[in-house]
Amino acid sequence: MFRLDDSKKVKVYAVLVAVFLLVLSFASGLLIGASQRPAIEKVIGLENKETLKPQEINFGLFWDVWSRLQEKFVDKNKLDNQKMVYGAIAGMVSALGDPHTVFLPPEENKRFQDDISGSFDGIGAEIGIRKGSLVVVSPLKDSPAERVGLKPGDKIFKIDDKVTNDLTLDEAVKLIRGKKGTEVVLTIFRDSFDKAKEFKIIRDAIKIPIVKFEKKENGIFLIQLFHFTETAPVEFRKALQAFFDSGSSKLILDMRNNPGGFLQVAVDISSWFMPAGEVVVKEQFATGEEIIYRSRGYRLLEKIPTVIIVNEGSASASEIVAGALRDIRGIKLVGAKTFGKGSIQQLEQLPEGASLKVTIAKWLTPNGVSINDNGLEPDIKVEVKPEDEDKLKEEGRDIFIEKAIEVLKGL
């Protein structure tokens, strides 16, 4: 039988003791490290946590809060990890301060896709967010919103019993829309009001008007353009035919309460007033790259004396047309400062049925003026005092058109 001598026994014991001490030291380190490891390492039940740790940003606070909620929040049945993740993403997007950049969880994304692919019932008003407040951009012509007296710039404080302070634009739209024949109550504040007032509105099927026109006195023709839909170019051509058939020599283009629409339609309509190749609008991206949209050069109205009427409800594509014709043709803007919706959103489809609607660029006029947030100041300002509105309506007067006619007479 093989036996170790005493010297070899001592060496073996020494090795075993060393290994034991090494294991003990390693185990102690694990225990100490576990108590001091970052909060993200304590979180269980989530995948791909390591992808959320870019070196320049410390996510420790986020995961610290997450782990404390998991450990200490009293209503454990309300701890829905997926909803918490969606809420965190929505908060991150909201922190950008851009009301048009929003995160849409799967349910809201499906509703959004349904809205843009078909018709809908509602009150017929374009709404937006300005300086943190939900506002009416413009009520559509002959819509329930217009009939009850909503106006551009009205601040919406409540939708039924829901306060709007923390609502995203898409959430507000969802609450305002509803089935034809149902009622929604909007609590509105207007600068001329002493206090907020409730407007009860019965929802209806929304039909978007496009163009209306008529011959005025002194060789002046009026075209009212209400929206930049896909059919607007065809409807605008019909109005132009009526203009030339009437023998008129001067034109008023009225784009009050026009919330906009398709960019290419704005380019098409601008092309009637401009030579081919002239800049209509510039898209400026975060990288500084610009895409320039140019006139197609229809130019039948290039020499026609024209005045454009705008107001607080003129937004997006209507601001593009107004800005282009003023910069390139020197056409005067009459009315009130426009809304200032000059940005482009892109819809990014995300995993699990969610999506991100993100602002990717801003619109600039040919002279490089940013439309977004700023709006366009009119060359000739027109104001209607609240106390004069009913009187003017009874008399059938429109002082915006009266002012535009006055300006045209001098051209």
Parallel, antiparallel or unpaired: strands 355-364 and 343-349: antiparallel
> Would you say 186 and 176 are in contact if contact means Cβ atoms under 8 Å apart?
yes
Structure tokens at 265: 């339609």
Q: Is 204 a catalytic residue?
A: no
Q: Which of 141, 341, 357, 403 is labelled catalytic?
A: 341
Q: Is 180 a catalytic residue?
A: no
Q: Is 316 a catalytic residue?
A: yes
Q: Which of 143, 270, 271, 316 is labelled catalytic?
A: 316
Q: Which of 268, 327, 355, 398 is labelled catalytic?
A: 327
Q: What is the three-state SS of the chain?
A: CCCCCHHHHHHHHHHHHHHHHHHHHHHHHHHHHHHHCCHHHHCCCCCCHHHHCCCCCCCHHHHHHHHHHHHHCCCHHHCCHHHHHHHHHHHHHHCCCCCCCEEECHHHHHHHHHHHHCCCEECCEEEEEECCEEEEEEECCCCHHHHHCCCCCCEEEEECCEECCCCCHHHHHHHHCCCCCCEEEEEEECCCCCCCEEEEEECEECCCCCEEEEECCCCEEEEEECCECCCHHHHHHHHHHHHHHCCCCEEEEECCCCCCECHHHHHHHHCCCCCCCCEEEEEEECCCCEEEEECCCCCCCCCCCEEEEECCCCCCHHHHHHHHHHHHHCCEEEECCCCCCCEEEEEEECHHHCEEEEEEEEEECCCCCECCCCCCCCCEECCCCHHHHHHHHHHCCCHHHHHHHHHHHCC
Question: What are φ and ψ of residue 18, in 5° steps?
Answer: -65, -45
Catalytic site positions: 316, 327, 341
